[in-house]
Amino acid sequence: MIRKLLRRVFKRGEPTPHPVETIGPDQHGIRPEQVLPGARRTCETLQQAGFKAYVVGGAVRDLIAGITPKDYDIATDATPDQVRGLFRRSRIIGRRFQIVHVMQGAETLEVSTFRAAHDEDTLKDEHGRVLRDNVWGNMEEDAARRDFTVNALYYDPARGQVFDYHHGVRDLQRKTLRMIGDPRARYREDPVRMLRAVRLSAKLDLRMDPTVQAPIREMAELIENVPAARLFDEMLKLLFSGHAVECLRRLRADGLHHGLLPLLDVILEQPLGERFVMLALTDTDRRVQEGKRTSPSFLFATLLWHEVLANWETRKKNGQLPVPAMHAAMDEVLDTQGEKLAITRRIAGDIKDIWLLQPRFEKRGGRAPFRLVEQARFRAAWDFLRLRAESGEAPQELADWWAQFEQAGNAEREALLKPETAGPKKRRRRRSNAKNPADAAESAVPPAPTSEP
């Protein structure tokens, strides 16, 4: 411990590799009103308490690039306990990296303490991935710890200045993605950085520096050591970046698609499957760019649909009844996927609902259509059917019929119903224990249809 303390003391006296560049509003172009009010209040509270506090990382990068940030991170020299003491609505989370979630109204801000540089005492696994890291440092060390130069930017809302330690603003202007430090070492510390490199280069239309791109293919197997929950979070960011199609293209080009979605290669090798998946990703990109709502459940349902279909057909050929075969196929596919991606139980339930409603679209007679449109997942299931029709898997007439049926009134719906093609219904046997003929006649009448919950 004494040696470690001495190293920290003397190391902080070393010169910074890149002198900090202070950039004013005229150069970076960020206006105070563009910054989330909760982020400004959080920085103000910390600064009034005597601490340094800055909006940091991706939010600053996106604001300079003219993109509205999805979330905001705050960096400070206050420890997590000190931050927790300043905000009533806050909580400390994380083991590997302790951070504080500060709630400002409906907004949640991530507040992290400046971290020191890694050394030989940093806890790592056998592959070099950092397992625990709660040694605090100063702002210069914290900047050197960040992954890419475009992420090592600190914005002070009070003074309107951006502090740039590694020429991130210049790289952003030159459309170049550079790593801080040795890329190979940084990928070993956190293999998720390989995914971030792909996502950021696609999102910001950046060209990867050769030193950043070259090691990715040979080090891709390190992704296998990433905890499933972290990988799932990173995949959500990638798929909902608004540039999922381009990300997928770059993932395949850099050899990173293997192991991320274990069944992705199988899906993309199917003629109908590849068209279906690309339509789904294109549709998601469009919705993100238009600011519309998106659903992880819906997108993962599309990514895994053709694997479910193949599994289902195999089970039916082996003699299983259609409904039990469908449930078994869904469970097997989701279990296999869950070995790598931590799909939550809620998301898995929503995925199954979308899948299970697909066969029910075939029934357009009787009372079944009325019950189907009342289902909570009907709209998502119909969007799924629409993509199936666009890819050529389902009849376009079927998707159009259900769109018309949903919008129609009761009288119009009755007119749209198709004749039922099933055989004649079996007559119900009269109950032998009826007390009188009137009771017996009434018991022979089938009950009126009821709506599903």
Q: What is the pLDDT of residue 7?
A: 47
Q: What Å distances lie between residue 66 and 32, 50, 230, 348, 436, CA to CA?
A: 14, 32, 28, 35, 81
Nearest to 223 by CA among 260, 184, 262: 260
Phi, psi (rounded to 5 degrees) for 162: -110, 130
Closest CA to 155 of 276, 64, 77: 64
The least confident of 42-56, 368-382, 393-407, 411-425 is 411-425
Residue 224: CB atoms within 10 Å: 12
Comparing 424 with 350, the larger pLDDT belongs to 350
**Which positions are catalytic?**
71, 73, 147
Rounded to whole angstroms, how far apart are CA atoms 453 and 451?
Answer: 6
User: 261-418 falls under which CATH superfamily?
Assistant: cca-adding enzyme, domain 2 (1.10.3090.10)
Q: Give per-residue pLDDT as tens, 294-339.
A: 998 999 899 889 989 999 999 999 999 999 999 999 999 998 877 7
Percent of the chain residues topping a pLDDT of 90: 59
DSSP state of 34: G
Contact indicator for 79, 136 with CB cutoff of 8 Å: yes
Residue 11: pLDDT band with limits 50, 70, 90: very low
- Asked if pLDDT for residue 26 goes beyond 80, the answer is yes
Residue 96 has pLDDT above 70, yes or no: no
Report the CATH architecture of 1-174.
Answer: 2-Layer Sandwich (3.30)
On average, the pLDDT of the chain sits at: 84
- Closest residue by Cα to residue 433 from 424, 443, 421: 443
Assigned token pair, 368 = 């079944």
Q: Is the pLDDT of residue 361 over 60?
A: yes
Tell me the pLDDT tens digit for each residue of 169-199: 999 999 999 999 999 999 998 999 999 999 9
Q: How far is CA 133 from the centre of its chain?
A: 25
> Is the pLDDT reported for residue 45 higher than 90?
yes
CATH 3.30.460.10 residue ranges of the chain are 1-174
- Among 17-21, 93-97, 311-315, 317-321, the minimum mean pLDDT is found in 17-21
Asked if 69 and 56 count as a contact pair (C-beta separation under 8 A), the reply is no
List, as one string, the DSSP characters of 349-362: HHHHHHHHHTGGGG
Percent of the residues in the chain that have a pLDDT greater than 70, as a whole number: 80
Specify the domain boundaries for CATH 1.10.3090.10 within the chain.
Answer: 261-418
Which of 348, 357, 303, 345 is closest to 330 using CA atoms? 348
> Sorting pLDDT into bands at 50, 70 and 90, what band is 116?
confident
